[in-house]
């Protein structure tokens, strides 16, 4: 993520940029949605054991408990472990690749999309996604969805990126990594967010770009983002 975007994000809370994981694919080796899973209902952050050991000082500075899991990172499908959605107490993701620690005491809703979190801009009771399976899963749980075309989002090193990786929800704001209105459905996305009570904010004039989203940890006095 360019420094200009990091500076813009820092206005919304304390930012902890993530070091790369040496075993993940280089274009996405520092993407939060591949490196971490935050269970906000339990207040637990999960990551790879080797990554935790390499960056223990960073994790000890965070205001939540971190649980390192002894999982192997690597090329697909070894980059799917933490890219799951937590919605209404359920874990939505590609079931065979979800770590058991994430699903303890929770129902798993299986979808074909392995990068469920990256593919979804998840709100409190709604979602924006280009994935039909995720949209159906959210609707089945009583949520509202806007299904968009799988175009218009860059991901350096790949053909295209995802809406969840190109945005972050901080309070009642949705921050976009680039210009929302450069996306072909930007106005449609804006209308949907406003109806759901969220304010869309473009952080730059560049095209929307997938940087792996943010893990947002909120407490009464401060917002932490990684």
Whether the pLDDT of residue 219 is over 90: the answer is: no
Whether the pLDDT of residue 138 is over 60: the answer is: yes
- In angstroms, the CA 226 to CA 182 distance is 26
pLDDT (average), residues 150-161 = 94
Structural domains of the chain in order of their starting residue, each with its CATH number: 3-225 (3.75.10)
User: Judging by beta carbons within 10 Å of its beta carbon (0-12, 13-18, 19+), is residue 25 exposed, middle or buried?
Assistant: middle
**Contact 136/110 with Cβ under 8 angstroms?**
no
Distant-in-sequence, close-in-space partners of 190: CB < 8 Å, separation ≥ 6: 180, 181, 200
**What is the per-residue pLDDT for 223?**
53
Dihedral (CA of 63, 115, 209, 2) sign = positive
Whether the pLDDT of residue 144 is over 60: the answer is: yes
Closest Cα to residue 80, out of 67, 88, 91?
91
**What is the per-residue pLDDT for 220?**
42
- Residues 66-121 have pLDDT tens digits of 999 999 999 999 999 999 999 999 999 999 999 999 999 999 999 999 999 999 99
**What is the per-residue pLDDT for 221?**
44
| Separation in Å, CA 181 to CA 128, 153, 207 | 15, 11, 9
**What is the per-residue pLDDT for 150?**
87
């Amino acid at each position: 993520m360019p420094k200009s975007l990091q500076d813009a994000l820092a206005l919304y809370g304390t930012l902890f940029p993530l070091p790369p994981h040496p075993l993940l694919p280089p274009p996405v080796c520092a993407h939060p949605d591949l490196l971490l899973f935050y269970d906000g209902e339990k207040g637990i952050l999960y990551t790879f054991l080797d990554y935790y050991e390499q960056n223990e000082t960073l994790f000890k500075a965070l205001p939540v408990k971190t649980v390192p899991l002894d999982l192997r990172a690597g090329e697909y499908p070894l980059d799917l472990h933490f890219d799951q959605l937590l919605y209404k107490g359920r874990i939505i993701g590609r079931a065979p690749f979800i770590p058991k620690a994430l699903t303890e005491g929770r129902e798993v809703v299986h979808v074909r999309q392995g990068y469920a979190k990256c593919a979804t801009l998840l709100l409190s009771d709604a979602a924006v996604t280009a994935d039909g399976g995720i949209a159906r899963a959210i609707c089945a749980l009583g949520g509202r969805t806007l299904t968009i075309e799988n175009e218009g989002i860059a991901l350096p090193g790949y053909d295209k990126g995802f809406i969840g990786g190109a945005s972050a929800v901080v309070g009642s704001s949705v921050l976009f990594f680039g210009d929302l209105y450069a996306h072909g459905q930007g106005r449609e996305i804006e209308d949907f967010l406003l109806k759901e009570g969220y304010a869309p904010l473009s952080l730059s004039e560049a095209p929307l770009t997938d940087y792996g989203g943010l893990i947002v940890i909120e407490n009464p006095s401060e917002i932490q983002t990684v």
